[in-house]
Amino acid sequence: MTFKDVAKRNLRKSIYLLVFMFFFVILVAISIGYYLGIDPTIIFIPALLIAIFSSVGGYWGADTLVMSITKAKIITPEENPQLHNLVDEMAIASGIKKPKVAIVQDTAPNAFATGRDEDHALIAFTTGILEVMDREQLQGVIAHEMAHIKNRDTLVGVIATVSAGLIAVLVDFSWRLAFSSRGGKKGGNPLLLLGAVIAIILAPVAAMLIKAAITRKREELADASAVAFTRNPAGLRRALEALRDDSSVVTSDNKSVAHLYIESPLVKSKLSSWFDTHPPIQDRIDLLTSMES
Amino acid sequence: MESLYLVFAGLGVFLVIFAVLFNKLRVANISVNEALAQIDVQLKRRADLIPNLVETVKGYAAHESVTFTKVTEARSATMKATTFDDKVSSDNMLTGALRGLLAISENYPDLKASANFLALQEELSTTENKIAFARQYYNDSVLVANSLVTTIPTNMFAGVAGVKLRDFYAVENEADRKLPDVKF
| DSSP string across A154-184 | HHHHHHHHHHHHHHHHHHHHHHHHHHHTTT-
Select from A15, A277, A256, A241 the least CA-distant residue to A114: A256
- Mean pLDDT of the region A68-79: 87
Q: Mutate which of A4, A84, A89 to disrupt the B interface (most B C-beta within 10 Å)?
A: A89
Confidence class for position A89, pLDDT limits 50, 70, 90: very high
pLDDT at A102 over 90: yes
pLDDT mean across residues, chain A:
78
Per-residue confidence (pLDDT) for residue A127, from 0 to 100 = 92
Residue A236: half-sphere exposure toward Cβ, Cα within 13 Å: 36
* Nearby residues of A36 by Cβ (< 8 Å), 6 or more positions away: A43, A174, A177, A178, A181, A184, A186
CATH architecture under which domain B2-177 falls: Up-down Bundle (1.20)
On whether the CB atoms of residues B179 and B125 are closer than 8 A, the answer is no
pLDDT at A184 over 80: no
> Does the beta-carbon distance from A92 to B133 stay under 8 Å?
yes
Per-residue confidence (pLDDT) for residue B29, from 0 to 100 = 92
Q: How far apart are CA A289 and CA A287, in angstroms?
A: 5
Confidence class for position A62, pLDDT limits 50, 70, 90: low
Q: How far apart are CA B120 and CA A140, in angstroms?
A: 23
In this complex, is the C-beta atom of A86 within 8 Å of any C-beta atom belonging to chain B?
yes
> Does the beta-carbon distance from A93 to B179 stay under 8 Å?
no
Q: How far apart are CA A240 and CA A149, in angstroms?
A: 19
Select from A36, A10, A11, A15 the least CA-distant residue to A173: A36
How much is the pTM? Answer: 0.76
Per-residue confidence (pLDDT) for residue B174, from 0 to 100 = 47
pLDDT at A137 over 90: yes
So what's the ipTM on this one? 0.73
Which B residues 63-122 touch A at CB under 8 Å? 119, 122
- DSSP 3-state assignment of B125? helix
- Mean pLDDT of the region A159-176: 72
In this complex, is the C-beta atom of A95 within 8 Å of any C-beta atom belonging to chain B?
yes
Select from A68, A76, A179 the least CA-distant residue to A114: A68
- Mean pLDDT of the region A245-269: 64
Compute the C-alpha angle A4/A208/A119, nearest 5°.
Answer: 50
Name the strand (E) or helix (H) holding B91: helix B84-105
Q: How far apart are CA A114 and CA A225, in angstroms?
A: 17
On whether the CB atoms of residues B131 and B97 are closer than 8 A, the answer is no
Domains with residue ranges and CATH for chain A: 3-61+153-213 (no CATH), 63-151+215-292 (3.30.2010.10)
- From residue A129, give the alpha-carbon distance in Å to each of A29, A115, A180, A276: 45, 21, 53, 22
Q: Per residue, what are the HEC states of A212-268?
A: HHHHHHHHHHHHHHHHHHHCCHHHHHHHHHHHHHCCCCCCCCCHHHHHHECCCCCCC
Which B residues 128-167 touch A at CB under 8 Å? 129-130, 133-134, 136-137, 141
Q: Tens-digit pLDDT profile for chain B (184 aa)?
A: 778 899 999 999 999 999 999 999 999 999 899 999 988 888 888 888 888 888 888 888 777 788 888 888 888 888 888 888 888 888 888 888 888 888 888 888 888 778 888 888 888 889 889 999 999 999 989 998 999 999 988 888 888 888 889 988 876 554 444 444 444 4
Per-residue confidence (pLDDT) for residue B57, from 0 to 100 = 82
Is A145 considered catalytic here? yes
Better pLDDT: A205 or B144: B144
- Mean pLDDT of the region A178-184: 57
Confidence class for position A260, pLDDT limits 50, 70, 90: low
Per-residue confidence (pLDDT) for residue A275, from 0 to 100 = 64
- Mean pLDDT of the region A136-142: 94
Catalytic residue among A78, A118, A136, A145: A145
Phi, psi (rounded to 5 degrees) for A28: -60, -45
- Mean pLDDT of the region A61-68: 72
Torsional class of A71: left (φ above 0), alpha (ψ -120 to 50), beta (otherwise): left
Phi, psi (rounded to 5 degrees) for B166: -105, 155
On whether the CB atoms of residues A259 and A157 are closer than 8 A, the answer is yes
Residues of B in contact with A86 (CB under 8 A): 126
- DSSP 3-state assignment of B184? coil
Strands A100-104 and A72-74: antiparallel
Per-residue confidence (pLDDT) for residue B19, from 0 to 100 = 92
The shortest C-alpha distance from A90 to chain B (Å) reads 8
Q: How far apart are CA A126 and CA A109, in angstroms?
A: 6
Q: How far apart are CA B101 and CA B57, in angstroms?
A: 8
Per-residue confidence (pLDDT) for residue B182, from 0 to 100 = 47
In this complex, is the C-beta atom of B45 within 8 Å of any C-beta atom belonging to chain A?
no
Strands A122-126 and A72-74: unpaired
Per-residue confidence (pLDDT) for residue A273, from 0 to 100 = 60
Per-residue confidence (pLDDT) for residue A14, from 0 to 100 = 67
Phi, psi (rounded to 5 degrees) for A111: -155, 155
Q: How far apart are CA A60 and CA A154, in angstroms?
A: 10
pLDDT at A90 over 80: yes
pLDDT at A70 over 50: yes
Confidence class for position A267, pLDDT limits 50, 70, 90: low
- Mean pLDDT of the region A212-217: 80
Q: How far apart are CA A287 and CA A284, in angstroms?
A: 5
Q: Which residues pair with A261 in a beta bridge?
A: A112
- DSSP 3-state assignment of A41? helix
* Nearby residues of B142 by Cβ (< 8 Å), 6 or more positions away: B32, B35, B166, B167, B168, B169
pLDDT at A2 over 60: no
